[in-house]
Structure 1
Amino acid sequence: MLQDMGNSKPRDQNEGDSATPSGEVHLQVIELTDEETSTSSTDSEDQTFVGQATTSTKSSVEKLPESKPTAPQPQAKVLFLDGLRGLAAMLVVVQHSHEFVPSLHLGSAAVDVFFILSSFLLTWLFMKKSMKLLAQGASVRTWVFGLLDYFQKRFFRVYPLFAVTAVVLHFLSFENQHRYFIVRKPNQVPLYETLTFEYEHRYHVFWTLPLEIEYYFIIPVFVLVVLRLRRYWWVGAVPLFVWIVHEGWTLVRNSHTPLSLHLHTFMLGSLAAVVFVKIDLWIRKTEFKFRLWHTVLLRAVEFLLIALMLSVLFRGLLFDWVMANPAPPPEGFPFISVYVASIIVIEILQPSFVSAMLEWSVLRFWGKISFSIYLLHTFVIKYPAISHQPNYFNRFFARLFLVIALATASYYAIEYPSQLMAQRISRFLAAQEKKGSGSLGKFACMEKINRRMQSTTVEAK
């Protein structure tokens, strides 16, 4: 889903990142380009970057020594997010294969990870861009073009592959429709209703796509409200977090449900992005440095969060060894959003071996193609010639390699060209915005000259 830094895709250069010759990184919240898009199980987001000279992330709080201007450093992603997304995509495959304790809802937990990553990255992106436009005193025209660019990127990263999959599903026989996408009745996959996300036609994994798309419209409003609050952003953040925890503990969530039941998960991803941006800005402003005891305390909190997350997922561990789970037993999706969002923020601020493990190139590649994995994996795992194999390992390796092969082909045949199209449209919109701004500037300049000439004429008379 997320594109690794070795990809040959063209990219724009961003300013605002710095790296020392030794590769130490000063993490900054920088503007993201559409070339560096990332994919979720349900969509893909513009990935977030830190400037660095090596491929691994470093602490966001190391102060950089002053140095002479050098050539622009290459941009790299926060690589562990690629790996996290790839791992989540494979957990969905495991869940739908019904080979490993399906009652644990690992696929449901993976969907929550996708929701958090989507909202976190897009909120981070839009917040940075909005801060830049506000600092520049951008006109309404610039904001309109920025929003158009934001939505067209989202469209081209989500819709093309979904549309192709929906068309293929429409022309399959009812037997195959039922086998691969759990269609209940014949002639129940009308193309128009499926392509427009009618509630009754959100088959199988399609149900998450409209939820993501609906939340795309909430992100700009959320970001602008946060920026409007300025230093008092926490006044809204605290009750919002309390509401999120309450919803997570009390709501019964399942698949094929509306956005209202999953809104708190998306909101937590956005809130985590805001918290990270505020902490990162404070760190750079105060030149704060993590001392040993800071790191030890942070790691203790992080490992406790990981232990609690695993305890919720596997319904035991700390809840058997230490104390009973204080939350009600989950009847639907397990509530792990708070743990996942907190771990992401901690790992970006102060990376550990957790992010290093997730930076494994195999996981990152799965992350790059994860949208295709998510949408297309059932065509492999439910294929009779594979699912009827009596040997478990024959099924396992056949599914693993064929899912990756199909997703890779889909990525380069559909997703990658769609990203290139989004880039071209983004450049076109940028050119049109600048062209209009230039024309207005010339018009204002000519008006000023005319007024001066008229004033001079009056004085001469």
Structure 2
Amino acid sequence: MAATPEKKKNDWLESWHVAPANTQSYDFLDGIRGIAILLVLACHLLYVNPTASNPVLFVFGIFGAGTFGVTIFFALSGFLISLPFWKKKIQNSLPNLSRYAQRRFWKIAPPLILSVLVLTPLYIYFYGNKDVYLKAAIEWLTGKALVFPVSGRLNPVMWSLIVETHFYILLPLLFLLLKRLGYKSCLFILPLGFFIIPTLARYIYLAYGVEFSLHPVIRVNFPSKLDAFSVGILVAGLHVRNAIPASVARFAPLGFLGIALALVWTSWNALHPLHPKWSLEINNLIILVSSGLLLSFIRNPVAAGKWFLANPMLRWFGLLSYEWYLFHQPLFYWTRSIVGEADGNPALYAVRVLVPLLLSLAIAALVYRFFSLPILRATRGAKADS
């Protein structure tokens, strides 16, 4: 059977997958990743003078709210990581936990280790404080940072990897603990538990004056950030049972609207604050629901393509998203140090934004293609679950 024009057009992209033949039904997930990383990049790279007019602050505040891209990443992880557990649960068994741990390690650890080894000397070159950065690097390389608070001076975006790792460990333990319960019971308990318990934990921490922080130390306050995974767990569980309602799938495109609404509301609320804590929780809920709607495209992946989620360039960004995430922010700060302040000069502002954006993209592409991808193929073999 001859390949379709669309398939031929995307052949270049398939070579970037770990196991190209296993990706067709999940192409749109790369597109969602692409949206998530672009939101994070906009949040970190675009900036505005705080003395600018309110309309200008409002527009740039929308980009600044792109931190919600991390929430979308977490929702995606909730879906992809729980999917093999649900597939085994329906057979009253568990995945091979040793293989599961190895897959998670080889996906996360090599790019993280490489970024720490490459970036730490550069941080020391630009900022000095050798002892501070070396201590933080050792804590990341030994895994201590995944358990105890660590300095936020060394590439603070790595905070999300702490939360991801907590999820990777907790999820199989919970499936093991609930092994005797039926599928429906687990489908009720797990998503609800992942949503309610972290939400309550945030307010318990807050009551004791302990808040999430990135500076001066990274403190994620386990399990208060794990609620973002709940929607992915729910959609994966429903998908395995072929139980995603057609009505929900039809409204999947509303996920785009929900994300836009959360971004606009966050920016508006920054200028006209109501109740900062409740506004953040409401926006977080909107992003969770929106992520769930986008994930529900899994019921009809072809429809996702009509909404640009199968766009080759967007999917490519998604494939590079982890490496891009690790390398982008330090380059932005160092470019600022080298170029100096823009002082209202549009050309200089463009340099301060575009140089780190494009350079980090190039680095991410090289690291993924010639470092991460070969490792993943070697450690997973030809077969890939997600």
Global fold match (TM > 0.5): yes
Matched, 1:274 2:231: no
**1:206 positional shift:** 1.5
The 5-angstrom pairing of residues 105-254 of structure 1 reads: 105-131=64-90, 134=93, 146-172=96-122, 174=124, 176=126, 185-189=129-133, 190=135, 191-195=137-141, 196-198=143-145, 199-201=149-151, 203=154, 204-224=156-176, 225=178, 228-233=181-186, 235-236=188-189, 239-240=192-193, 243=196, 247=200
**Partner in structure 1 of residue 262 of structure 2:** 312
**1:407 positional shift:** 0.9
In structure 1, what is the Cα distance between the partners aligned to 2:23 and 2:74? 25
Matched, 1:366 2:310: no
**Partner in structure 1 of residue 307 of structure 2:** 356
Q: Which residue identity is paired with 2:360?
A: V
In structure 1, what is the Cα distance between the partners aligned to 2:195 and 2:112? 35
**Partner in structure 1 of residue 288 of structure 2:** 338
Identity %: 22
**1:214 positional shift:** 1.7
In structure 2, what is the Cα distance between the partners aligned to 1:248 and 1:303? 32
String of CA shifts for 1:96-120, please: whole Å, max 9, x gaps: 1243625764342011111111121
Would the aligned equivalents of 2:187 and 2:234 in 1 still touch at CA under 8 Å?
A: no
In structure 2, what is the Cα distance between the partners aligned to 1:193 and 1:232? 39
String of CA shifts for 1:3-25, please: whole Å, max 9, x gaps: x8743379xxxxxxxxxxxxxxx
Would the aligned equivalents of 2:231 and 2:292 in 1 still touch at CA under 8 Å?
A: no
**1:223 positional shift:** 3.6
**1:133 positional shift:** 7.2
In structure 2, what is the Cα distance between the partners aligned to 1:216 and 1:96? 26
Change (3 A) 1:227 1:411: farther
**1:130 positional shift:** 4.8
**Partner in structure 2 of residue 28 of structure 1:** none
After TM superposition, the score normalised by the length of structure 2 is 0.71
| Alpha-carbon RMSD | 4.0
Matched, 1:87 2:39: no
Change (3 A) 1:354 1:247: farther
**Partner in structure 2 of residue 400 of structure 1:** 357
Would the aligned equivalents of 1:308 and 1:318 in 2 still touch at CA under 8 Å?
A: no
**Partner in structure 1 of residue 221 of structure 2:** 258
How many corresponding residue pairs? 333
**1:152 positional shift:** 0.7
Would the aligned equivalents of 1:116 and 1:341 in 2 still touch at CA under 8 Å?
A: yes
Secondary structure of the 1:341 match is helix
Would the aligned equivalents of 2:231 and 2:291 in 1 still touch at CA under 8 Å?
A: yes
In structure 1, what is the Cα distance between the partners aligned to 2:198 and 2:238? 16
String of CA shifts for 1:182-215, please: whole Å, max 9, x gaps: xxx5411224223124322353112111221121
**Partner in structure 2 of residue 418 of structure 1:** 375
Change (3 A) 1:104 1:425: closer
**1:358 positional shift:** 1.7
String of CA shifts for 1:41-87, please: whole Å, max 9, x gaps: xxxxxxxxxxxxxxxxxxxxxxxxxxxxxxxx875142121011122
Structure 2: gaps of 5 or more residues: 1-9, 49-59
Would the aligned equivalents of 1:96 and 1:378 in 2 still touch at CA under 8 Å?
A: yes
**1:123 positional shift:** 0.3
Would the aligned equivalents of 1:272 and 1:341 in 2 still touch at CA under 8 Å?
A: no
String of CA shifts for 1:372-419, please: whole Å, max 9, x gaps: 110001243223345656413344443332222111111123211221
In structure 2, what is the Cα distance between the partners aligned to 1:128 and 1:387? 53
Would the aligned equivalents of 1:380 and 1:386 in 2 still touch at CA under 8 Å?
A: no
In structure 1, what is the Cα distance between the partners aligned to 2:16 and 2:46? 37
Structure exhibiting the larger radius of gyration computed from Cα positions: 1
Secondary structure of the 2:24 match is strand
In structure 1, what is the Cα distance between the partners aligned to 2:202 and 2:123? 42
Change (3 A) 1:124 1:173: closer
Greater relative contact order (Cα < 8 A, sep 6+): 2
Change (3 A) 1:220 1:425: farther
Would the aligned equivalents of 1:193 and 1:201 in 2 still touch at CA under 8 Å?
A: no
In structure 1, what is the Cα distance between the partners aligned to 2:115 and 2:182? 43
**1:94 positional shift:** 1.7
Change (3 A) 1:192 1:248: closer
In structure 2, what is the Cα distance between the partners aligned to 1:75 and 1:227? 32
In structure 2, what is the Cα distance between the partners aligned to 1:131 and 1:90? 36
**Partner in structure 1 of residue 14 of structure 2:** 7
Structure 1: gaps of 5 or more residues: 11-34, 38-72, 135-142, 179-184, 428-461
Per residue, is there more helix in 1 or in 2? Answer: 2
Change (3 A) 1:133 1:253: same
Secondary structure of the 1:260 match is coil
Q: Which residue identity is paired with 1:414?
A: F
In structure 1, what is the Cα distance between the partners aligned to 2:367 and 2:14? 16
Would the aligned equivalents of 2:191 and 2:230 in 1 still touch at CA under 8 Å?
A: no
